[in-house]
């Protein structure tokens, strides 16, 4: 059933791409990937002082992207082509279930261990598509930002995006969409945070990471989602969010600088086969487009042994 719906959506897109685009029914949820020239001729190292066009460094756990261009001449001109050095978990990207390897302590009974989870080359079309279920907390997040003139502060006394605040996706938000949750759906979390994506790459001081004081899904929100999945006997296809790691900053950083009890969504959901799309863009546009009538499509790379990869992500909406 899901495969048929996916093929029908693609067929409709192919038959009426121009009309669909004009109607606004194809929404691109992808940030552009900034690229930089190689440093001192080393194609493995980016030179932030030599961006292509208007590229700016973005928050990432890897390095910025290196693009080394070359020419392939012919009698009538030449081909322009390049070699790109690009981290898997960079920009708008997919996390496969095999991205996180649980310890014996965090591995839950009945779910595959890390070496038995799907990697990039094993994901199917059904794995990478699904009906959208939207949770939109952007209004609450903006209300918190307005306390500081619309700008996030790492100081929780100024702007609070902790798990104890109302500015994260919590259990009540998950419960509110429980009736819509089903096998294969993609839960899309719009926090409005993508507007800070290009405002600096420093984790401690720049707005997007904001010293790990940023919105996302709380620990209690993750636990509620699992409770609902277990009660209904379902597994959602994935979660897409406009932050660096699905988890709220509180859940991501954990208890100390050794990442103790960190990344709660990754620890509990990836082992269940749930995929993630991180650093999504334009979720506000999706929120205004009758998201219940939309299908998420993740154009992920199919590289062998890949744990994820930069992806072109679309919502196809009725």
Q: Please tell me whether residues 47 and 118 are part of one structural domain.
A: no
The CATH number covering residue 188 comes to 3.50.30.50
Q: Please tell me whether residues 201 and 300 are part of one structural domain.
A: yes
Contacting residues for 125 by C-beta, under 8 A, at least 6 apart: 3, 6
Return the number of other C-beta atoms located less than 10 Å from residue 161's C-beta: 29
Q: Read off the pLDDT band of 19 (50, 70, 90).
A: very low
Mean pLDDT (whole number) for 1-15 = 49
pLDDT at 267 over 50: yes
Q: Please tell me whether residues 13 and 47 are part of one structural domain.
A: no
Do the Cβ atoms of 133 and 184 come closer than 8 Å?
no
Q: Please tell me whether residues 55 and 18 are part of one structural domain.
A: no
Last residue of a domain, one of 45, 65, 85: 85
Q: Read off the pLDDT band of 3 (50, 70, 90).
A: low
Helix (H, G, I), strand (E, B) or coil at 63: coil
* 130-163: pLDDT as tens digits: 999 999 999 999 999 999 999 999 999 999 999 9
* 177-189: pLDDT as tens digits: 999 999 999 999 9
Contacting residues for 100 by C-beta, under 8 A, at least 6 apart: 114, 263, 266, 267, 270, 271
Question: What was the pLDDT predicted at 76?
Answer: 98
Mean pLDDT (whole number) for 196-204 = 97
Question: What was the pLDDT predicted at 14?
Answer: 44
Do the Cβ atoms of 128 and 276 come closer than 8 Å?
no
Do the Cβ atoms of 316 and 30 come closer than 8 Å?
no
**pTM greater than the 0.75 cutoff:** yes
d(CA 270, CA 101): 9
Q: Please tell me whether residues 104 and 238 are part of one structural domain.
A: yes
Q: Please tell me whether residues 183 and 213 are part of one structural domain.
A: yes
Segment holding 187, helix H or strand E: strand 186-190
* 92-126: pLDDT as tens digits: 999 999 999 999 999 999 999 999 999 999 999 99
Last residue of a domain, one of 85, 111, 126: 85
d(CA 16, CA 23): 10
Question: What was the pLDDT predicted at 33?
Answer: 99
Written as six digits, the tokens of 273 are 């086969």
d(CA 119, CA 101): 12
Question: What share of the chain has pLDDT > 90, as a percent?
Answer: 92
pLDDT at 13 over 60: no
pLDDT at 7 over 90: no
Q: Please tell me whether residues 137 and 19 are part of one structural domain.
A: yes
Q: State the residue range of the domain holding 245.
A: 2-32+88-317
Question: What was the pLDDT predicted at 15?
Answer: 44
**Tokens 């990937």 label which residue?**
33
Q: Please tell me whether residues 243 and 132 are part of one structural domain.
A: yes
Overall domain count for the chain:
2
Q: Please tell me whether residues 162 and 268 are part of one structural domain.
A: yes
pLDDT at 20 over 50: no
Q: Please tell me whether residues 58 and 199 are part of one structural domain.
A: no
Written as six digits, the tokens of 253 are 């950083």
Q: Please tell me whether residues 153 and 57 are part of one structural domain.
A: no
Least confident of 12-21, 44-53, 216-225, 241-250: 12-21
Q: Please tell me whether residues 204 and 284 are part of one structural domain.
A: yes
Helix (H, G, I), strand (E, B) or coil at 252: helix
Cα-to-chain-centroid distance, residue 13: 23
**Tokens 């890949």 label which residue?**
306
Q: Of the candidates 181, 258, 193, which has an alpha carbon nearest to the alpha carbon of residue 224? A: 181
d(CA 46, CA 110): 43
d(CA 279, CA 27): 15
Burial call 101-128: b when 16+ CB within 10 Å, e when fewer: ebeeeeeeeeeeeeeebbbbeebeeebb
């Amino acid at each position: 059933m899901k495969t048929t719906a996916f093929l029908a959506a693609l067929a409709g897109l192919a038959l009426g791409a121009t009309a669909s685009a004009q109607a606004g029914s194809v929404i691109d949820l992808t940030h552009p990937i900034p690229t930089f020239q190689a440093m001192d001729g080393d194609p493995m190292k980016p030179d932030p002082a030599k961006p292509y066009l208007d590229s700016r460094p973005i928050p990432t756990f890897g390095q910025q992207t290196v693009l080394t261009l070359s020419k392939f001449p012919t009698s009538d001109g030449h081909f322009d082509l390049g070699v790109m050095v690009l981290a898997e978990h960079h920009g708008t990207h997919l996390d496969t279930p095999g991205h996180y390897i649980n310890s014996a302590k965090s591995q839950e009974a009945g779910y595959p261990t890390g070496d038995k989870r799907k990697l990039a080359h094993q994901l199917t079309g059904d794995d990478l598509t699904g009906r959208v279920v939207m949770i939109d907390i952007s209004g609450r997040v903006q209300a918190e930002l307005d306390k500081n003139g619309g700008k996030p502060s790492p100081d929780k006394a100024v702007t609070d995006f902790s798990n104890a605040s109302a500015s994260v996706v919590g259990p009540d938000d998950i419960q509110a969409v429980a009736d819509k949750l089903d096998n294969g759906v993609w839960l899309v979390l719009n926090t409005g945070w993508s507007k800070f994506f290009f405002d600096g790459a420093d984790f401690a001081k720049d707005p997007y990471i904001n010293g790990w004081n940023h919105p996302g899904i709380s620990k209690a929100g993750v636990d509620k989602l699992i409770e609902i999945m277990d009660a209904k006997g379902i597994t959602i296809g994935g979660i897409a969010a406009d932050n660096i790691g699905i988890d709220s900053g509180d859940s991501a950083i954990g208890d100390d600088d050794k990442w103790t009890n960190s990344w709660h969504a990754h620890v509990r959901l990836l082992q269940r086969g749930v995929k993630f799309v991180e650093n999504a863009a334009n979720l506000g546009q999706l929120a205004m487009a009758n998201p219940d009538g939309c299908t998420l499509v993740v154009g992920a790379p199919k590289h062998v042994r890949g744990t994820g990869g930069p992806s072109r992500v679309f919502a196809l909406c009725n």
